[in-house]
Amino acid sequence: MFLNPVLAMHIPDGFLSVAVALVGWALMVVLVGLALRETRDKLGERQIPLMGILAAFIFAAQMINFPVAGGTSGHLLGGALAAILLGPWSAVLVMLSVISVQALLFQDGGLLALGFNTINMGVITVFVGYAIYNWVQALPGRAHGNRLLAAAIGAWVGVEVAAIATSLELVASGTSPLQIALPAMVGVHALIGVGEALITVGAIAFIQQTRPDLLGETAKKAARGSSWIAVGLLIALLVVFLSPLASPSPDGLERVAADQGFLDAAQDAPYQLLPDYTVPVIKNEALTTIAAGVVGVLVVAGIGYGVGRLNSHGKAGKRGHTV
């Protein structure tokens, strides 16, 4: 069941503390507001039918699976694919619609948890995937302009960063201990990400052969992609660097280790990804939440600043070149 990405990342209600859930909602409201404005400017009256039908497409695409082994199957989450096909802001709206319908209509993922579910699956996979996709294509050497390789790496990294973010949210809520949640989520999603990458490449390759004009449209938009690279990488870095900040519980796991002596035994097993894990920087749960909130605001401010600069550039005049 955990091998199924569709469920593995949909946090149900009750697993996030109310404070953490509200931070997620605040972030989501700001980002979705930005996404609505951006896409309205770009698409005009086409916005509603195009976004609506493509949201239904992502929903249906998540049904298409391929058998892996032992009864498990690979699925698509779709964030990176949507970003590559539609551009990041449209992709955020499409993913938000998908995740909302899954929560409202099918109870896949909670309503209070909708904020962070959207951030994880609809913002992080989109922005990180898109940034990496553009970055890899801009690299010199053999990777230069290799759209499929770039899509594969973008999809994989996007899923991985989203998994890290999901585990951090659970840890900050006191629902999962860091030493276990983080390596488990990262490990499982390293495999899930491979499925995501392969499917994304398959889809892009098919579209490249049949309707290359559709990819050309977004490629032109990617001319302004250099700032996206910065934004996406910033998100990824923030998520990663947040890991030591998120205190698993105010009680402190070090004491458990001392009291029970079991962590010594347990550390032989899968937890060696964090061998030097020490006492969390912030011991107080409330403080952790505040720290998360502050960082969240900084993320939003950074994104807002980036968007503002992009707009002024776009209006200022011509773009240098098209990819």
- Decide if residue 71 touches another protein (CB under 8 A): no
Beta bridge partners of 73: 67
Alpha-carbon span 281 to 19, nearest angstrom: 19
Cβ atoms within 10 A of the Cβ of 275, count? Answer: 7
Nearer to another protein, 153 or 234 (CB): 153
Strand (E) positions, the chain? 66-67, 73-74
Smallest gap from Cβ 108 to another protein, in A, equals 5
d(CA 123, CA 235): 10
Spatial contact of 3 and 72, defined as CB atoms under 8 Å apart: yes
- Tell which one of 139, 223, 262, 294 touches another protein (CB under 8 A): 262
Which CB atom, from 139 or from 190, has the smaller least distance to another protein? 190
Q: 26, 34, 186, 207: which one contacts another protein (CB under 8 A)?
A: 207
Does residue number 6 form part of the binding site for another protein (CB under 8 A)? Answer: yes
CB of 235 to another protein, least distance (A): 22
Site for another protein in 100-129 (CB under 8 A): 100-108, 110-112
Site for another protein contains 265 (CB under 8 A): yes
3-state SS string over 236-293?
HHHHHHHCCCCCCCCCCHHHHHHHHCHHHHHCCCHHHHCCCCCCCCCCCHHHHHHHHH
Task: Give Cα 323 distance to the centre of its chain.
Answer: 25
- State which of residues 26, 34, 62, 224 lies at the interface with another protein (CB under 8 A): 62
**Contacts with another protein, 148-187, as mask; x by CB under 8 A:** ----------------------x---xxxx-xxx------
21 binds another protein (CB under 8 A): yes
Residues 221-260 that bind another protein (CB under 8 A): 248-249, 251-253, 255-256, 259-260
**Does 288 interact with another protein (rule: CB under 8 A)?**
no
Among 27, 96, 182, 235, binds another protein (CB under 8 A): 96
Of 113, 88, 84, nearest in space to 100 by CA: 113
Residues binding another protein: number (CB under 8 A):
98
Kindly tell me the burial class for residue 233, based on how many C-beta atoms sit within 10 Å of its own C-beta (0-12, 13-18, 19 or more): middle
Binding status of residue 305 toward another protein by CB under 8 A? no
How many whole angstroms separate alpha carbon 74 and alpha carbon 130? 21
Task: Give min distance, CB of 96 to another protein, in A.
Answer: 8
Tell me how far apart the alpha carbons of residues 12 and 113 are, in angstroms, rounded to a whole number.
6
The dihedral through the CA atoms of 289, 291, 294, 295 has a sign that is negative
User: Using CB under 8 A, which of the segments 91-99, 157-165, 235-243, 287-295 binds another protein?
Assistant: 91-99
Which residue in the set 26, 56, 245, 323 belongs to the binding site for another protein (CB under 8 A)? 56
Residue 82, C-beta contacts closer than 8 angstroms, at least 6 positions apart = 54, 58, 90, 91, 94, 95, 126
Please report how close the Cβ of residue 270 comes to another protein at its closest, in angstroms. 11
Question: Which residue in 93, 136, 242, 291 binds another protein (CB under 8 A)?
Answer: 93
Q: Residue 119 in contact with residue 172, Cβ under 8 Å?
A: no
Closer by beta carbon to another protein, 203 or else 299: 203
Write down the least CB distance from residue 230 to another protein, Å: 27
